Chain A
Amino acid sequence: MMFLLRREWLLSWRRRSELINPLVFNLMVVALFPLGITPDPDELAVLAPGILWVAALLATLLSLDLMFRYDHQDGSLEQVATSGTPLAALILAKILNHWLFTGLALTLMSPLLGLMLNLPISLMPLTLLVLALGTLVFSTIGAIGAALVAGLRRSGLLLSLLVIPLYIPVLILGTGSINAALAGVSFVAPLSALAALACMALALAPWVAAAALQLSIND
């Protein structure tokens, strides 16, 4: 398992210029909302949790397509599939790596973006925690979608169609937690539901994605 993770880290690190794109995209999308709706700080503070989540969701979608693309094209996937190392192990490594380079990066950006949207500073720790959990689910469920379309040529838009409905609970629970804190009520229920969702997704998704990937390797 460790050698799979090491390989993913190495590959992501050497392609880091590609990984900046979703982060810049995230910043730009967030900047669109005040321009499109209102610059009023009070109204923005109400919208802030939703804006942060939608932007992170879109940025994740943008980055998912590359999860298996290179390995499928150069034949690494078929080497893994015939090697005796389970595909699910590779997928788990890819999920963790994707979260590290995209989800966690998006999470770490969020306090800055939150400030731009007038989100109260006292909510930053919670925002960080919830986004970290939520983006982990994004990466995990996204792996299933990415595995399903790995063999297709133009798959970006299709991938979004497949994955967005599955992301809705995360969006609801994620914004719900921050909104609850914003309104001064307990945020434990949505937060723990999100954590449960993350555990379930991590336990199941690698196997499902492995079955999907096994199909995508077919030529």
Chain B
Amino acid sequence: MSSSARQNHNDPVLRARDLICERDDRLLFRDLQLTLTDGSALRIAGRNGTGKTTLMRGLVGLNILLEGSIDWRQTDASPWLYVGHRPGISAHLTVLENLRFLARLRGLDPDQAALRQALAAVDLQAFDDSPGQQLSAGQQRRVLLAMLYLPGLPDCWVLDEPFTALDKQGVLALEHHLGAHCAKGGSLLFSTHHEPTVFDYATVTLGEHMTEGAT
């Protein structure tokens, strides 16, 4: 990815230029430019099937079909925290074990209290000892979101449809949390159909001004 290893904080966290993605012989988007700076939030909008998920997965290195120049500012640890559609929760591990594993992967070692606090933030404190397979899809998703409440996370969060599994109160709580994250200087790239009201963000809409046809 990036060849320059500068730690200059005036650099944007992400600078992506001339992104192009073709999938099953269909052009999803092209000439897409994205810039994400510290303390800011960027929302990827667009109707279903316009390539929001493909774009976000491509940016974090999970989709090689996305082409173009993608420059993340180099950091020592992994530059992102990614929340995708799949919950990342093993059916045979308990909620607590799952959450601890997600933290350990990022080199964090939160204590029991921090883990419980994170679970409480997504309203799952009663489930800490249940195996993943006993949770509903929405609850599994919330375990992954609980990760956002752990201390010591990377500064850049990439969240694909983070609000889907939450009720009204949960959505509001998460919006406040994301707002606080940006206020502390973190950056946020997210996709959602609904429009958060609590914090400021820029929007990039996919599927507009797209010309059909060949290159």
Is there a contact between chains A and B in the complex with CB atoms less than 8 Å apart?
yes
Q: Is A11's CB under 8 angstroms from B93's CB?
A: yes
Question: Count of B residues near A, CB < 8 Å?
Answer: 34
Instruction: Pick out which of these stretches binds chain A: B11-19, B29-37, B81-89, B173-181.
Output: B81-89
Instruction: Find the A residue at minimum CB distance from B58.
Output: A218
Contacts A215-B64, A218-B64 given: A84-B90 contact, CB under 8 Å? no
Contact with B along A181-219 (1 / 0, CB 8 A): 000000000000000000000000000000000110111
A219 to B84 Cα, complex, angstroms? 12
Is A80 interfacial (CB-CB < 8 Å)? yes
Is B164 interfacial (CB-CB < 8 Å)? no
Chain B residues with CB below 8 A from A73, complex form: 86
Contact with A along B99-138 (1 / 0, CB 8 A): 0011011110000000000000000000000001000000
Q: Is A79's CB under 8 angstroms from B105's CB?
A: yes
Task: Give the residue among A71, A75, A218 with the most B Cβ atoms within 10 A.
Answer: A75
The binding surface of chain A is classed by DSSP as: helix
Is B210 interfacial (CB-CB < 8 Å)? no
A44 to B93 Cα, complex, angstroms? 45
Q: How far is the CB of B2 from chain A (nearest CB, A)?
A: 15
Q: Is B82's CB under 8 angstroms from A82's CB?
A: yes
Q: Is B105's CB under 8 angstroms from A80's CB?
A: yes
Contact with B along A17-36 (1 / 0, CB 8 A): 00000000000000000000
Is B204 interfacial (CB-CB < 8 Å)? no
Is B205 interfacial (CB-CB < 8 Å)? no
Chain B residues with CB below 8 A from A82, complex form: 60-62, 78, 80-82, 158
Question: Count of A residues near B, CB < 8 Å?
Answer: 25
Q: Is A84's CB under 8 angstroms from B78's CB?
A: yes
Chain A residues with CB below 8 A from B78, complex form: 82-84
Q: Is A11's CB under 8 angstroms from B106's CB?
A: no
Is B92 interfacial (CB-CB < 8 Å)? yes
Chain B residues with CB below 8 A from A15, complex form: 92
Instruction: Find the A residue at minimum CB distance from B101.
Output: A7
Contact with B93, one of A7, A75, A85, A215 (Cβ below 8 angstroms): A7
A175 to B29 Cα, complex, angstroms? 56
Q: Is B104's CB under 8 angstroms from A3's CB?
A: yes
Q: Is A74's CB under 8 angstroms from B105's CB?
A: no
Contacts A83-B106, A84-B78, A84-B107 given: A78-B90 contact, CB under 8 Å? no
B residues near A (Cβ < 8 Å) are: 53-54, 57, 60-65, 77-78, 80-82, 84-93, 97, 101-102, 104-107, 132, 144, 158
Question: Apart from A74-B86, A78-B57, what 8 extra A-B contacts exist at CB < 8 Å?
Answer: A14-B93, A74-B88, A74-B89, A82-B82, A82-B158, A83-B78, A83-B106, A84-B105
* 10 CB-based A-B contacts, threshold 8 Å: A7-B101, A10-B97, A71-B90, A82-B61, A82-B62, A84-B78, A84-B105, A214-B61, A219-B57, A219-B62
